[in-house]
Chains A and B, each alone.
Chain A
Amino acid sequence: AQSVAQPEDQVNVAEGNPLTVKCTYSVSGNPYLFWYVQYPNRGLQFLLKYITGDNLVKGSYGFEAEFNKSQTSFHLKKPSALVSDSALYFCAVRDSGNTGKLIFGQGTTLQVKP
């Protein structure tokens, strides 16, 4: 079965420090991987995705993610965290069947403290 795991419920970092939000996946075939962010009482906003090509994917708001096929991971990173980055982050993988549905991880709350 295809799945996504986000092992940390919450990540705390100080403003200005680098941040990492972890994601591992299990999927048959080549993975299509996504990161979304949800601010309080808002919908999901697309951050970045990996389809093929470079293992380091750059996205919105200074975020990037590193695809590691051998470790089946797709960790979200940012070199210098901002307080405004505090939000709920979801990793997702596109189902390999023809429905194209997204399978989500359980989400990680990022708290950036000043």
Chain B
Amino acid sequence: NAGVTQTPKFRVLKTGQSMTLLCAQDMNHEYMYWYRQDPGMGLRLIHYSVGEGTTAKGEVPDGYNVSRLKKQNFLLGLESAAPSQTSVYFCASRPSGFSFYGYTFGSGTRLTVV
């Protein structure tokens, strides 16, 4: 099925460890976004990309890095995980221009940092 796939779905990290979350979309969308979801705070934008090879910071970028070497993939990296990064991470994509549904979200990655 076409859509946005996030891997892994769950992960437990120790403080200081690193990891990469992968977001892959097969809809040829230009724009991709990484959000984190925390109770009572909604979804906050971490980083985003407006096209292959481009990235930009969102609201809460500290402690994260991203890369978009291929149009279909948007990687979110944690170089040195901290307990404050315990969250559910969502990736989203959308095409350029007008689209009825606009944004397609992945099913999320639940990350716990201990």
Question: Taking chain B's interface residues, is the majority helix, strand, or loop, or is none over half, making it mixed?
Answer: strand
- Knowing A101-B58, A106-B40, say if A49 contacts B102 (CB, 8 Å): yes
Assess whether A90 is in contact with B43, with CB atoms less than 8 Å apart. Answer: yes
Range of interface residues on B (Cβ < 8 Å): 20 to 34
B89 to chain A, nearest CB (A): 11
- Between A36, A49, A94, A102, the greatest number of chain B beta carbons within 10 A of the residue's beta carbon is seen for A102
What 0/1 pattern do residues 23 to 56 of A give for CB contact below 8 A with B? Answer: 0000000001010100000111110010000000
Chain B positions 35-78 with a Cβ under 8 Å from a chain A Cβ: 35, 40-45, 48, 50, 56, 58
- Knowing A101-B33, A101-B58, say if A43 contacts B108 (CB, 8 Å): yes
B101 to chain A, nearest CB (A): 5
A residues lining the B interface (CB < 8 Å): 4, 6, 9, 32, 34, 36, 42-46, 49, 90, 92, 94, 98-102, 104-107
B residues lining the A interface (CB < 8 Å): 31, 33, 35, 40-45, 48, 50, 56, 58, 90, 92, 94, 100-103, 105-108
